[in-house]
A and B are shown apart, each in its own frame.
Chain A
Amino acid sequence: MGATLDLFAAASAEGAWTVAEVTRRARVVVEAGLPPLWVRGEISGFKRWQSGHWYFALRDRAAQVRCVMFARDNRRLPAPPTEGMQVFAFARPTVWEDKGELRLTVLELLSTEGGGLWHLAFEKAKAALAKDGLLDPARKRPLPAYAERIAVITSPDAAALKDIIAVVRRRWPAELIILPTRVQGDGAEGEICAAFARAARLARLDVLIVGRGGGSKEDLWTFNSERVARAVAAAPVPVISAVGHESDVTLCDLVADYRAATPSAAAAAATPDREEVAAHLAQLGTSLARGVAARLELASQRLDRSFDRLAGAAALRLERHRHRLAALGGQLDALSPLKILERGYALARDPSGRVLKRVAQFAPGDAFRLRVSDGEVPARVADA
């Protein structure tokens, strides 16, 4: 068989070719004459073998051709095609000598149907999550107002982590616990799930951030994995998802308690602003002082009025209170000048009186109260 092939020469002295010679030569002719090309057709008889290779036929009204897509090539695809799906296949035609069959070795497969295979895989996983109630908005937990311990699941050497650390450092003295993982490619899914399991064992954790910076659809695909989405849903503390891509919502985003557009936004959502907290504390100090001053004034007036009628005991009592008042006056001085509200600040609180500091605490339609310098105004969040 070492001789160069002459297509039209008989391969044996008797003038008859062996079967193997025919199929071998056919393969050489096909491979030489048909370079890799795009083929359009419908998927038929799809089978996935133990080895991970995919076998199917492509057909149209007039003909069909058998195809194989090896595991190394189909691994990049999010889901196998469905029966009858219209596809474009980039394939290398060849002849399988042992069967004497024309085959296409498919290198790339694109569905022509809305969104293609990626869309199909996304919708399948989404349906499974919805079936288990994991997409129910009622599951979403509020974020802690003053997180002290924040876990971050992301790539250790990407800009996303640096952004998160920088924003938290600027805003709030929390403890950040980094659980480094890969965020794309083989193994990323398993590492992220393992990191969630480790985070679940952290004591006193307040909130968890999972995410990455922007990337291509394929790069972000780990965050569309059903396993990752279920890990997010199972987290014992609220999860902020920050998969850096404005236009594509990932399953991770849908299941998380809060979706941030970027890692920086996630860090801001996880923490209060220390300046705002300081202003709030100052305001509380003022209220404290005013409350007790009013009460003392009232008591003092009453005591003055009854002073004539009350003898020594009452006078003694008054003296005692006045001493205490004088002592507390010193403490009041320490608090002033804290007339924050009079400088034009307003304080928003929910009906239970809790102070609202961040956008995440305002849901459309929520009623709240605005405290300004001379009283309170009822208010309501505009519908989105």
Chain B
Amino acid sequence: MTADTEVYYDPYDFEIDNDPYPVWRRLREEAPLYYNGKHDFYAVSRFQDVEQGLTDWKTYSSAKGMLLEIIKAVVEYGVELPPGNILFEDPPIHDVHRGILSRVFSPKRMLAIEPKVREFCAQTLDPLVGSGGFDFITDLGAQMPMRTIGMLLGIPDSDQEAIREAIDASLALEEGDAPKQQPIDALAYAEGLFGEYIDWRAKNPSDDLMTQLLEAEFEDEHGERRRLTRTEVLVYVSNVASAGNETTTRLIGWTGKVLAEHPDQLAAVAADRDLVPKVIEEVLRYEAPSPVQARYVTRDVEWYGETVPQGSVMLMLNGSANRDDRKFDNGDSFDIHRKSEHHLSFGFGLHFCLGASLARMEGRVALDEVLKRWPHWEVDYDGAVQARTSTVRGWTRLPVRIDA
């Protein structure tokens, strides 16, 4: 088959975002190095290329941000990014900050709260049994990640819902254009969300992650041993909360949608819930909640015979890489029985998702608790609404019908 039109990819085009996979497939086959003149960015889309690019932080820097519009704002308008956000850092400073978080945010600690998360699911889902349906997002996915992070941080339940709404609002896109960049007031914004809680927790230490962050001692980039400043803690916590909220909400939504579209596989996992972890992995691969990672190109690099000049923005399309037939047999098909292989939904290299264990646990628990109550559901697409952000892809509403 020959392509009649040249392939066009635009992360701000809602039409494409509804189902980017046909475009991404064409990128992989026809334009493995893609250039978009309208928004002035390059993109790679094959598994091997994305994996290699994400590892090579010297060439593909995160120091100017990891969203297209943020890098543009930093490069063109000289916007300054808040310090301490490990997503916007390269080594050596990245390693200092990541080291602290990695110690505090241990997989063991995350898995330890699983029983509490299950309990929250039960409280949320039990009242919905017999009601004929529920919404994967508003009834479950929107709340659970915030509550889970709240449990880790020790945030009181009453403060949690407001925090999540504020974060969602700050990430929402207007159709057609690159969004106005948001990081200018990030610090003030984080202050509004977590400032009071940090001060309260500093006076009332407990065994939560916040207390550990406040008390953690580390060697900074100047070789000085110290604790984190209040501002640094603020930035860390807002990062952890926003990164973990939004993406995990989308994971739970995709789980509901993709399984409804594959009723035979839904029946299989409903009959054998030992398959739940495999299902979550396949959902992660198939519908990456964060499918596009932007990087700033620090030197001229060659891709497929073309030169990408220093100063460009490169999009690493990890959501496309996950569908690459070169890595995954029949990559565009959803198959919970496929051979286990690592995918790029949590990124790769030094920015690999710090909360991957947490997200996996939440995805597992959410699906398991839903399946305990309902072995089958159908999406009510009239009521379903897709979320619009340039880095996170998924649903803001996903109502499902349960046949009695």
Answer yes or no: do A and B interact.
Answer: no
